[in-house]
Amino acid sequence: MSDLLVVGGGVVGLLSAWSLAREGCRVTLVERGATGRESSWAGGGIVSPLYPWRYSSAVANLAHWSQDFYPALGQQLLEATGIDPEVHVTGLYWLDLEDQSEALAWARANGRPLDEVDISAVHDAVPALGPGFQRAIHMPGVANVRNPRLARSLREALLRMPAVELREDCEVLGFIQEQGAVRGVRTAQGELRSETTVLAAGAWSGELLASLGLTLPVVPVKGQMILYKCAEHFLSSMVLAKGRYAIPRRDGHILIGSTLEHAGFDKTPTEDALASLRASAEELLPALAGQAPVLHWAGLRPGSPQGIPFIGPVPEYPGLWLNTGHYRNGLVLAPASCRLLVDLLQRREPIIEAQPYAPEGRLVDTPLV
């Protein structure tokens, strides 16, 4: 029996296991496929909500803590594994926002470095940017993380920790219940028992909780993206306009995203989305016109009400904890979410007020029939 069992091998699950193991816990992580291959692989990796001023303080508080922590996390993982998650500080320009004044007011109220800049200065700083944009605001310290490399480095870090067992290709079929408490999971490979089970299965978390008669309002929300390969210094900063963004990687890859679709668990890329994303790419960066993307993919975000994740114990089932429902912000919220989870499990003062994320009162009890 392990001290803790983590269900789900995305960045939230991997980082939960890593954080708990660093606290001295014995941890088993269970993933139905390969770790880091679902939403964590599919996202863009911007270390900021796309429009932070449009979210509640619950999301902002997690985001701010994580943004400050990411550089140290990237360095720790590089030193531990030799795999660089590439926390890349480029800054972010928002173009032609309808709510620009609200964004600037939010920044002043929260002490965030967000300023209005002349559009000519944007073109000087980002020569690849297309014409026709009128207004811009800029946050200089925003980074992006190369999320597939982040997942790989976390996996490698776990493999090097003697107190961690990693079980991939091991589908969870349900929970072990004893005297009203959860004591592990049933899998295709047999039972895995634990006093504490953390459910961090992203868009699939709701299906697993349904087996206990609980309705978790976390649903799959499909997002499609495309990738281009350019010269290393083609794009100097992240840019965002009309709900679409361009993210530069250090090696010249440029990500363009993303769609927002309610299509169940269907992850099939579509031609309509490809055409729409290419049009956005060419409007933002005209040099991409006529250039074929090198990759087009889709992933499933764990959509939740107001994008507020569920972090903490499930009161109806002692022994069961949640760290899920991060919607569009899983990568930026993951470090703070996992630190908050550890603080609560270790019964110490949490990094931020925990109540907004508590599952209690946010789940619906639906008796099984």
Buried residues in 234-267 as b, exposed as e (16+ CB within 10 A): bbebbbbbeebbbbbbeeebbbbbbbebeeeeeb
354 vs 337: CA distance, rounded Å = 10
Can you list the alpha helix ranges (DSSP code H) found in the chain?
11-22, 39-42, 57-81, 100-110, 119-125, 147-159, 205-210, 271-284, 330-345
Which position has the token pair 């900021």? 48
Q: Which structural domains are found in the chain, ordered by start? A: 2-50+149-218+305-365 (3.50.50.60), 92-140+220-303 (3.30.9.10)
| Dihedral sign, Cα of residue 205, residue 206, residue 210, residue 216 | positive
pLDDT of the chain, 369 residues: tens digit per residue:
669 999 999 999 999 999 999 999 999 999 999 999 999 999 999 999 999 999 999 999 999 999 999 999 999 999 999 999 999 999 999 999 999 999 999 999 999 999 999 999 999 999 999 999 999 999 999 999 999 999 999 999 999 999 999 999 999 999 999 999 999 999 999 999 999 999 999 999 999 999 999 999 999 999 999 999 999 999 999 999 999 999 999 999 999 999 999 999 999 999 999 999 999 999 999 999 999 999 999 999 999 999 999 999 999 999 999 999 999 999 999 999 999 999 999 999 999 999 999 999 999 755 443
Quick check: 128 and 178 in contact, CB under 8 A?
no
Residues 6+ apart with CB under 8 A from 361: none
